[in-house]
Structure 1
Amino acid sequence: MEERSPARVRNELVADIVDVLQESTTVRQENSADIWVRMLSDELDAPVEPLRNAALRPWLLHLVERCAEIPDGLPCLVRCLKYLEQQSSAILSLLRLVDEWEAVDFFDGADLRPLQPILRDMRSSAELATLARRASRSRTQELPAWCDTGWAVFLRLAGGNSAAKELPVSMAFLALAADRLVEDGQMEAAEDLRRWNRQQSLTWGLEDKMTDWQRSGIAQQAPPPMVPAYLMIQFEPDGVDPDRYLLSHWRQSDAEGWHPVPGETLHLHRDDLPAEVEVLIEQTEERWADLRQPVVLEFILPWELLGEPVEWWHKESSSSSPTPLVMDYAVLVRSFERLRKAAWHRPWHKKWRQLKEQPADSHSYFNPPGQSHFHLERELKEDDQAVCLVLSEPPGGDSGAGQQEFMAGLRAGVPAMIWHRGDCGDPAFKEAVAEMVQDRGLSSLVTRAGNWRKEALALGPEGWDNHVGRHLAILVDDPERRPGPPGPDRAPVTP
């Protein structure tokens, strides 16, 4: 294949960008094109001549060349068009081309196209995200939507997320991609990637860094264990309107470490929470379409929402047969108040270590009906081995006793709590809890709670309300697995 000069590489990229712009309805219509040009001029802080009576393609060539000369000019060009077109196919194509422009610039005008036919056949989104995480030493956790091939990921990583003493992330990605091709029996393609990497290492004097990378534990890392992926969904009280909440979420699919990725925060009425959670779960499933790990849903709830049967909220609610979340996921509850109140974290960590390091010596505590929350808190704090609290009343009960029990458990650092959302005195609930806590490890507690929910699920909508599994609530709070809160690490707590 003929090697292209740096000038030709850049000129052809400019032409490719113009090809996409020329087909855009926004650009071809005078009114919308004027809005685009005005927004672009404002963000660049430089005048941009409107199209008017000029021929479209020469005008676009001049515009793209000018933006390419300005720092952040090409990303700005696409960003302003995105204001008008949102996530159109043209926008996705332009984002890939801007990444390619920046990759070419990073590699001093090198012709990268010989790598394209090899890398564009790598299409597993989960595998590409894993390779990007490893290449960047976990600094890149998720990839943009347009990074749907190995080629797009390589371009995206070029020049980014590299520490001074490390091999550039894009070259580390190529090395990992070559290893994956070898595993798939594509020896010739793998050697092509390695040859390109060796030549670039020689050009830049990176032979030692390439050798260090190949010898590192990251490059030769064994496949991680099959640990769950987590979607953490938090409802934060508005603070002014009691019927409104801030919905935040974090996605965590890195099997090699805890690196939750925050999503968009929405301000919603309480009645809109189930529908928005459904949309969020569907979007996450699309992002994780080829993820092999099981997915756990964790709802971070303020005390006033602890009565919500979140695991029985629906997917596919617009269909004639909606699916309860519990059919597809392990669903756990966490405490919003505890995450935000740092003064409660020391006993929380202490009891978690007890549960994690000495499960055989840990036990559950059944709070007897009528015991004051003062004595409950005192006993839980004196008993270091009490790591799971079974409430005598649901936290949202009319008497307020369940809420006081719940708060006593939080203050004492108890990491797990169980309650019946309607009647904690139900004999079936007591029987279920006795079976759930007979093994003292936390994993068996979650598994056994899931089994009771499956029994209820098997009865179908016509019968599950009469089964205890329909009303079980289980809180499991791991202090080592925390989201990054969107606000300060404190919140008002109602006693």
Structure 2
Amino acid sequence: MQGEEQWFSRTPGVEARQKIELDMVNSLLTSVAFASDPSRQLALEIIAEQFEQPATIRTHPTPRAQLIEIVRTYARNPDGLRVLVDVVASFDPQSFGTVRLRQLFDEWQAAPSFTDDDWSAFRSALGDVVLPQLTELFHLATRNRRHRPPAHCKTAWHYFVHLTDLNAGADSVPPYMIFLERVAPLLPSSTGQELRMRNHRLASELGLITAVNEIHLHERESLPPQHHTAYLVIQLESDGIDPERYTLSHWYQWDADGWHPERGEDRTVSILEIENEVERLVFDMETNWVEAVETVTLEFILPWELINAPVDWWRKESHSSRPTPLTMDYPVVVRSLERLRTHRWHRAWHVRWQRLNTDPTSVLPYWSKPAGKNYHTLLETDLKSDLRYACLVLSEPPLPDSSGRTEIETALRAGLPVIIWHRRDCGSPDFREAVQQMLAGETLAQLPILARKLRGEALRLDLADRESHIGRHLTMLWDDPERQPEVSRSYGTPEEGIR
């Protein structure tokens, strides 16, 4: 064993990391990804694709020696072990070995933050502790910015090391310190006292003892119920090479105290696969949020060519005998990918959104009525000359080379956060009457709710009548500038959105 340990990384927390890396080797020996030469080669190829300069992996005569080489090599890369664990997990996500690897990776990340003495003490105190309150303590430690702990967190130790890698909140107290302060009273007296003593010493070293003491004063308060809107944000953008393929990104958001979306794994899909992939994301969300009581809104961030897609009527439960549209269960709105990417449009966007939120009774809708060759210039002049305009009703659907497409771009440039249209016929008397009734309400802030109500009316009709109902073809662009997911790494600079 001593000979093996000489292979491993010499970094802060070296003794703990040496043991963790050897435990990783033991777990990898049982992994499907390294069960045969072909699967090992495939795994290493996938890992290498994640780096600009692939690592050089030397060949060794035994599987154990080979895995020591692999772990040792990727431990030297700041993101190496994370990629290794993710790739191995993709071969067999639910296996015990995969769960153990994720636990070990959390430990490996956390180890350099503590002295060997503290590390041993925390592990001894928390290692086998399983409490019914752990999920609640996780919420308290993260200030409800995370909906649930990862599935691989089983014991208090797993929660602690996972929290060590999460950023502090507004009071600068790291989540792991909050967790230690909260879990200490639930442990045997002597163990809890030692845990708190060590936590207070660490807090003093960081100048955080006052903030940690305030946690101690309120340690018995329970997590208040949260009643707010959660979001599944789905973004589509062309992959830039094949016009029939898109990068589908998604974020989950459930924090009542601010915008802290968690990004899921990107996928590349063909245009024919998009609806099925969205159904999978909704299925995963419903499975993972089974205990959530929040209202969930689905938001689709779409490029020009997909902005008229009937995303609200895309199906879920498609493999059942009776599929249902997304709008039956969720409010659905669309957003503009081009506006998110074009930062020079954002100031006007923020100004109008702030007015919509702070003085909703003062904002006005604008009905687009094209007339003359210079109409779109006049439209932009009208919109930009009066900050009360927050909503544009299109004169026709935003199809390629249509007035509707130009009207949307004009509204985005002027900063209007709300745009409404009929996907087939914006001149329909039924559409205009329905929208007039929607806009006649007390505030425009109720529009997403009213849009879902119209779609619900369509759902109550038989299939023949449903197709002619306004709710079957209503699109609402509802674009909140305060909730922007992070810029896609594949897109380039923000100003590449529109020229």
TM-score range with shorter-chain normalisation? 0.7 to 0.9
The answer on 1:387 being equivalent to 2:390 is: yes
Matches of 1:303 and 1:332, distance apart in 2? 15
Residues 149 and 379 (structure 1), Cα distance of their counterparts in 2 relative to 1, 3 Å cut: farther
Summarize deviations over 1:31-68 as a string: whole Å, max 9, x none: 8689989999x99868685338xxx8xx89x959x969
Residues 113 and 319 (structure 1), Cα distance of their counterparts in 2 relative to 1, 3 Å cut: farther
Residue aligning to 1:197: 195
Matches of 1:324 and 1:114, distance apart in 2? 50
SS in 1 for 2:233: strand
Are the equivalent residues in 2 in contact too, given 1:297–1:330 (CA < 8 A)? yes
Residue aligning to 2:61: 50
SS in 2 for 1:418: strand
Are the equivalent residues in 2 in contact too, given 1:344–1:411 (CA < 8 A)? yes
Residue aligning to 1:333: 334
Are the equivalent residues in 2 in contact too, given 1:201–1:210 (CA < 8 A)? no
Residue aligning to 1:173: 179
Residue aligning to 1:181: none
Are the equivalent residues in 2 in contact too, given 1:274–1:314 (CA < 8 A)? yes
Are the equivalent residues in 1 in contact too, given 2:180–2:196 (CA < 8 A)? no
Are the equivalent residues in 2 in contact too, given 1:227–1:293 (CA < 8 A)? yes
Matches of 2:421 and 2:347, distance apart in 1? 24
Residues 379 and 85 (structure 1), Cα distance of their counterparts in 2 relative to 1, 3 Å cut: closer
Map residues 163-312 of structure 1 onto 2, 5 A cutoff: 168-177=174-183, 188-189=186-187, 194-201=192-199, 204=202, 206=204, 209-215=208-214, 223=224, 225-312=226-313
Match of 2:381 among 378, 383, 387: 378
Using the TM superposition, give the Cα deviation of residue 230 of structure 1 relative to its aligned residue in structure 2, in angstroms.
1.4
Are the equivalent residues in 1 in contact too, given 2:235–2:248 (CA < 8 A)? yes
Residues 21 and 270 (structure 1), Cα distance of their counterparts in 2 relative to 1, 3 Å cut: closer
Question: Can you give the 5+ residue segments of structure 1 that lack an aligned partner in the other structure?
Answer: 1-5, 179-186
Map residues 72-111 of structure 1 onto 2, 5 A cutoff: 75=81, 79=85, 82=88, 85-87=91-93, 88-100=95-107, 103=110, 106=114, 108=116, 109-111=119-121
Residues 270 and 114 (structure 1), Cα distance of their counterparts in 2 relative to 1, 3 Å cut: same
Match for 1:273: what amino acid? I
The count of aligned residue pairs is: 467
Are the equivalent residues in 1 in contact too, given 2:344–2:495 (CA < 8 A)? no
Matches of 2:495 and 2:389, distance apart in 1? 26
Summarize deviations over 1:281-333 as a string: whole Å, max 9, x none: 22333343333322111111222222211010011212222121111211001
Match of 2:496 among 467, 470, 491: 491
Are the equivalent residues in 2 in contact too, given 1:377–1:412 (CA < 8 A)? yes
Are the equivalent residues in 2 in contact too, given 1:416–1:477 (CA < 8 A)? yes
Normalising by structure 2, we get a TM-score of 0.77
Higher mean C-alpha displacement, 485-494 vs 345-354: 485-494
Higher mean C-alpha displacement, 280-289 vs 291-300: 280-289
Match for 2:140: what amino acid? L
Matches of 1:413 and 1:15, distance apart in 2? 56
Match for 2:176: what amino acid? S
Match for 2:349: what amino acid? W
Residue aligning to 1:134: 143
Residues 152 and 360 (structure 1), Cα distance of their counterparts in 2 relative to 1, 3 Å cut: same
Matches of 1:193 and 1:364, distance apart in 2? 63
Are the equivalent residues in 1 in contact too, given 2:33–2:88 (CA < 8 A)? no
Matches of 1:404 and 1:11, distance apart in 2? 61
Are the equivalent residues in 2 in contact too, given 1:245–1:269 (CA < 8 A)? yes
Higher mean C-alpha displacement, 363-372 vs 474-483: 363-372
SS in 2 for 1:110: helix
Matches of 2:27 and 2:425, distance apart in 1? 62
Normalising by structure 1, we get a TM-score of 0.78
Residues 288 and 176 (structure 1), Cα distance of their counterparts in 2 relative to 1, 3 Å cut: farther
Residues 202 and 245 (structure 1), Cα distance of their counterparts in 2 relative to 1, 3 Å cut: closer
Are the equivalent residues in 1 in contact too, given 2:181–2:199 (CA < 8 A)? no
Summarize deviations over 1:242-280 as a string: whole Å, max 9, x none: 333332222222221112223333333222211121222
Are the equivalent residues in 2 in contact too, given 1:394–1:419 (CA < 8 A)? yes
Match for 1:441: what amino acid? T
Match for 1:92: what amino acid? V
Match for 1:170: what amino acid? Y
Higher mean C-alpha displacement, 341-350 vs 322-331: 341-350
Residues 255 and 193 (structure 1), Cα distance of their counterparts in 2 relative to 1, 3 Å cut: farther
Match for 1:215: what amino acid? E
Summarize deviations over 1:2-33 as a string: whole Å, max 9, x none: xxxx9x99999799767755655666768868
Higher mean C-alpha displacement, 329-338 vs 437-446: 437-446
Residues 89 and 409 (structure 1), Cα distance of their counterparts in 2 relative to 1, 3 Å cut: same
Map residues 60-75 of structure 1 onto 2, 5 A cutoff: 75=81
Residue aligning to 1:183: none
Matches of 2:178 and 2:141, distance apart in 1? 9
Residue aligning to 1:409: 411
Match of 2:163 among 145, 154, 157: 157
Using the TM superposition, give the Cα deviation of residue 150 of structure 1 relative to its aligned residue in structure 2, in angstroms.
4.7
Matches of 1:31 and 1:376, distance apart in 2? 62
Matches of 2:376 and 2:36, distance apart in 1? 69
Matches of 2:99 and 2:38, distance apart in 1? 23
Using the TM superposition, give the Cα deviation of residue 233 of structure 1 relative to its aligned residue in structure 2, in angstroms.
1.4
Higher mean C-alpha displacement, 345-354 vs 485-494: 485-494
Residues 152 and 411 (structure 1), Cα distance of their counterparts in 2 relative to 1, 3 Å cut: same
Matches of 1:233 and 1:465, distance apart in 2? 26
Matches of 2:271 and 2:43, distance apart in 1? 38
Are the equivalent residues in 2 in contact too, given 1:36–1:80 (CA < 8 A)? no
Residues 221 and 437 (structure 1), Cα distance of their counterparts in 2 relative to 1, 3 Å cut: farther
**Cα RMSD over matched residues?**
4.4
Matches of 1:238 and 1:71, distance apart in 2? 32
Residue aligning to 1:3: none
Are the equivalent residues in 2 in contact too, given 1:303–1:337 (CA < 8 A)? yes
SS in 2 for 1:490: helix
Using the TM superposition, give the Cα deviation of residue 210 of structure 1 relative to its aligned residue in structure 2, in angstroms.
4.0
Match for 2:341: what amino acid? R
The share of aligned pairs that are identical, in percent, is 36
Summarize deviations over 1:391-424 as a string: whole Å, max 9, x none: 1211127x71212222222222211111111111
Are the equivalent residues in 1 in contact too, given 2:339–2:497 (CA < 8 A)? no
Residue aligning to 2:322: 321
Using the TM superposition, give the Cα deviation of residue 121 of structure 1 relative to its aligned residue in structure 2, in angstroms.
3.6
Match for 2:214: what amino acid? R
SS in 2 for 1:134: coil
